Amino acid sequence: MASSQALSAAAAPASQAAYGQRAGLPRHLQKILSLHDFELAAQKHLPRPLFGYISGAAEDCVSLQGNRASFSQYGFSTKVMVDVSRRSQKTELFGQTWDSPFGVAPVGISAISAYRGDLVLARTAASEGIPAIMSGTSLIPMEEVAKAAPGTWFQAYLPGDTSRIDGLIDRIDAAGFGTLVITVDIPVWANRENNVRTGFSMPLRPSLRLAMDGLMRPRWMTGTLLRTLIQHGMPHFENSFATRGAPLLSGTAIRDTTGRDHLNWQHIERIRQRWNGNLVIKGILNEADAVMATDIGAQGIIVSNHGGRQLDGAVAPLDMLPRVVDRVGHRTAVMMDSGIRRGSDVLKAVALGARMVFLGRPFMYAAAVGGEQGVSHAITLLRDEVDRNMAMLGANSIAEVTADCLMATRD
């Protein structure tokens, strides 16, 4: 009886702390109990074209659905009666210790979905001790984000005009970024029919439909769009080149992001020679490409199908992850994104060899709905899920979350 009371007393503070945290949140965030809830809230908050741009994928969304389904092929094999009172999810990567094995993936034009979205994501990630990758298709100058959130990584799409590559790399270096992520899976624009159906276009075109949709969502209209225009003027693509890019509404915006189909590994080799920081190649779904990136000298690889937004029908990154780890995991840091929504997803990827995993859509939804407080809440929800699941797996450290914790539930 005494031991039972002691256990109850020990559990009470954690439960009360969790309640206190929810109680201290704004009412619209108190109801959000999972990352899935943020998506539903963002759908109500954002104009249909913007929500469609974030949530959508290529063609029939086969890869988008496959990314989520891939996690269901594994179940956990737990260890019980293990002292897990000192468990920690701290993770080492690139000589730095992070507080959790997950981070914020790059999301384009985030500053039009959430006020100063790039700053919101980067600052919150830094304060919570996780990595954030700033998107190359962002609307806030990279220098401003690097200053506000040191340690942020920068993701670049290589310019189709190769004469501009050196200047971009030098600018990223001068801004103070230590880790450069090159996304390589976008030689041409994907067939995103969803964008057409929801009314999203690039360049973003003013329309009666967009205006009416905005008026029906006054929090976004006044808190993001009008506030941005009044305080910062028309958003531009700030970081595609060494110099400022086109305005968001300009017809040159799409032309500035095309013509990449001639790029090849020699361009990555040239960047490796010029760039002295950590180099990460994002968009790998093939063991041979993983070997090539590693041989060139990449310190990291992100196994990714671009969240299902490029080639519809591409293999789920979780399925490719173990094969890439087997080939190059002893020489480079293998990471993963696409489809992660729960702490259990994070741990399944870690068990299969991922050193770090990244989430884009959920944190973007959180930024749109709740700003920095929303992103912090999303990180806490995911971190708490990872913590609880580690306890039930009998794991005290991330290093103890291995393939032995998993069992295939289907062929």
| Binding-site annotation, residues for glyoxylate | 53, 157, 192, 306, 309
The answer to whether the bond into 203 is cis (omega within 30° of 0) is yes
- CA distances to 29, 362, 407 from 9, rounded to whole Å, are 28, 34, 35
| Closest alpha carbon to 86 in 408, 362, 390 | 390
Is 306 among the residues known to form the active site?
Answer: yes
Q: What is the dihedral of CA 254, 47, 137, 64, to 10 degrees?
A: -90
Length of the chain: 411
Q: What are the tokens at 315?
A: 């293999």
Q: In whole angstroms, give the CA distance from residue 129 to residue 58.
A: 33
Q: Are 245 and 142 in contact (CB under 8 A)?
A: no
Residue type for position 204: L
Q: Which residues of 61-74 are buried (b: 16+ CB within 10 A; e: fewer)?
A: bebbebbbebbeeb
Q: How far apart are CA 329 and CA 323, in angstroms?
A: 9
Closest alpha carbon to 367 in 97, 109, 76: 109
Q: Annotated catalytic residue: which of 232, 306, 330, 377?
A: 306
Q: Where are the alpha helices (DSSP H) in 208-342?
A: 208-215, 218-220, 227-232, 252-255, 265-274, 287-296, 317-328
Instruction: Retrieve residue 90's tokens.
Output: 């701290």
Contacts of 198 (CB under 8 A, 6+ apart): 48, 49, 51, 52, 53, 56
Contacts of 288 (CB under 8 A, 6+ apart): none
**Binding site membership for FMN: which residues?**
106-108, 135, 155, 183, 282, 304, 337-341, 360-361
Distance CA 34, CA 341 (A): 8
Residue 229, judged by CB atoms within 10 A of its CB (0-12, 13-18, 19+), counts as: exposed
Residues annotated as part of the active site? 306
